[in-house]
A and B are shown apart, each in its own frame.
Chain A
């Protein structure tokens, strides 16, 4: 611990170990480079699949936003697609209706508006817990979808919103036919958001969220304004979901009501639980496995592939409470100890 030498002598000797212990838990580990190396490798190895790859990256980003509230703050939701959808419609409408084609500012605005909506809805929703919260988030999700359906003039309603034509990124990089540029764009956005999330969960605020997840009553007894902490986390997560939705709209060049669907809220929850909740990287594993399963199982049976996904989910929930990533960690632990 380079930073601790100076003042350590004055304290009980073991306090230094205490800090070292905490620091060790927060240090970047070499294995964390793996998903990024894989993502960069995919760019060169499977250039034909980069459009699909972009969708995977977007789902990871969406899953990461859910992990922040579900995995760290313990907030359950069945309506997270609401914020994804808001981001998608904001980015889409900016281009299709207002002629604002610059993609980076469009994406930023999508995130900000989704965050603002997350903050407002969070103030109401997060006063409730358990089943009530689950039903309320579900209701908000459904209401958003109905709202988008009714506001046909702006959203295109059931037919969807077309005519989204983002300008080239930084004035140079078009959304090319193979999706190469948008793959890189999405990967950079994901990386920046990930670094911020990682910082957040390892900060005092991140510790507060874990405290809220573990025991709200105790947090209150420590003087914490629990609602405020939860609303802040919810707004941040909604903003990230909005970024994912914005990327979705820009890369697909159209938005349908589907972005707000209950199905999407469910999918992101399923894939996060599949990958592992409360580990940041769970979304990476979950989204990749989810798309792989979809791809492979659909070959077997185009109509019945979700049965396979369901079966895997049941197995994971029953036998691997930490998700696939938890299984991997458990498998790696004896190996690490034996070294």
Chain B
């Protein structure tokens, strides 16, 4: 076992020797890591370390050159992104990736309909699916978005749009949720609020999030993975990471302001 890979329990998501290169640039270099049930793992590293690339590889938006991805005990390396979502591997985006012209309720209802398999029916009107609308509303309510859920997405405040990203992901009932800088661009006081939402998500969901703010990382992550130059430098509990000299040198030393 790797040093510091003491994550116990069965892995819900695991990568084995995942590699990807663009020409000579190795953006992912034999990445091995695992997420266990109820995980709240942070993925940190300097810009260009390959964090988003890793999420793109895991979710199938990029095809790896080598290595395998396992969801539970199933290999999913060859599956299309949408097939992975159907199996419970879901992500959010660093840049808002929403439906500008739909309101929040419609958008989340759409996600619920897609999951429940209603999405192909064209002969029944949407209001007939009261259960889907109710579920969507409940999700929005739990993220404190219910108050503005009838406004078109493009009119929502930026912070609300970040929450809607998460609401859409939750509507797919993920087993594994990969959050790419969920608080990107959100003021610091609001970002703590956003992360408390994430921390309080159901323990059935394993969460991996990318985040730059070390206060947030050390407060909300129960495990930290440090990436540098496409490789995992080390992984461990926040205590182990904080104490590690290499991490201080390559990462904290440079990125920590003041």
Contact of A222 among B85, B138, B149 (CB under 8 A): B85
| B85 in contact with A11 (CB, 8 Å) | no
Q: A299 within 8 Å of B by Cβ?
A: no
Of B103-111, B187-195, B235-243, which stretch is located at the interface?
Answer: B103-111
Interface membership of B168, Cβ < 8 A? yes
Whether A154 sits at the interface, judged by CB under 8 Å, is: no
At the interface, yes or no: B158 with Cβ under 8 Å from chain A?
no
Question: Chain B nearest CB: distance from A120 CB in Å?
Answer: 20
Q: Is the CB of A214 within 8 A of B101?
A: yes
Q: From residue B25, how far is it (CB to closest CB) to chain A in Å? A: 24
- Chain B contacts of A60 at CB under 8 A? none
Instruction: Tell me which residues across on chain B come within 8 A of A214, comparing CB atoms.
Output: 98-102
Q: Is B122 within 8 A of A203, CB to CB?
A: yes
- Given the interface pairs A210-B101, A210-B102, A218-B168, the reply to whether A203 lies near B125 with Cβ below 8 Å is yes
Tell me whether B114 is interfacial, beta carbon within 8 Å: yes
Known: A221-B91, A223-B86. A19 touches B124 (CB 8 A): no
How far is it, in angstroms, between the C-alpha of A203 and the C-alpha of B83 when the chains are bound? 23
Q: Which of B101, B133, B138, B141 has the most CB of A within 10 A?
A: B133
Interface size on A, residues (CB 8 A): 39
* Interface mask (A4-41 → B, CB under 8 Å = 1, otherwise 0): 10010001101100110111001000000000000000
Q: Do residues A222 and B111 form an inter-chain contact, with CB atoms below 8 A?
A: yes
> Measured between C-beta atoms, what is the minimum distance from B148 to chain A in Å?
12
**Taking A203-B122, A205-B120 as contacts, is the C-beta distance between A218 and B134 under 8 angstroms?**
no
A208 to B91 Cα, complex, angstroms: 19
B254: shortest Cβ distance to chain A, in Å? 32
**B102 contacts A12, C-beta separation under 8 Å:** no
Interfacial chain B residues near A14, Cβ < 8 Å: 137, 141, 146
Known: A203-B126, A218-B98. A18 touches B82 (CB 8 A): no
Q: Are A211 and B81 in contact (CB under 8 A)?
A: no
Whether B99 and A18, one on each chain, are in contact in the complex, defined by CB atoms closer than 8 angstroms, is no
A209 to B110, alpha carbons, bound, how many Å? 10
Q: Mark A217-230, 1 if CB is under 8 A from B, else 0.
A: 11111111110010
Give the number of residues in B that approach A within 8 Å (Cβ atoms): 52
A200 and B81 within 8 A (CB): no
* Interface contact B102-A204, CB-CB below 8 Å: no
Q: Report the Cα distance A145→B133, complex, angstroms.
A: 47
Given A18-B149, A218-B168, A224-B82: A204 and B127 interface contact (C-beta under 8 Å): no
22 contacts between A and B (CB under 8 A): A11-B134, A11-B137, A12-B137, A12-B141, A18-B133, A18-B134, A18-B149, A22-B105, A22-B106, A22-B109, A22-B127, A203-B122, A203-B123, A204-B110, A204-B113, A204-B118, A206-B126, A207-B113, A218-B93, A221-B81, A224-B114, A225-B82
Residues of A at under 8 Å CB distance from B?
3-4, 7, 11-12, 14-15, 18-19, 21-23, 26, 199-200, 202-208, 210-211, 213-215, 217-226, 229, 232
Point out residues on B near A: beta carbons under 8 Å: 59, 80-83, 85-86, 90-93, 97-102, 105-107, 109-111, 113-115, 118-127, 129-130, 132-134, 136-138, 141, 146, 149-150, 168-169, 171-172
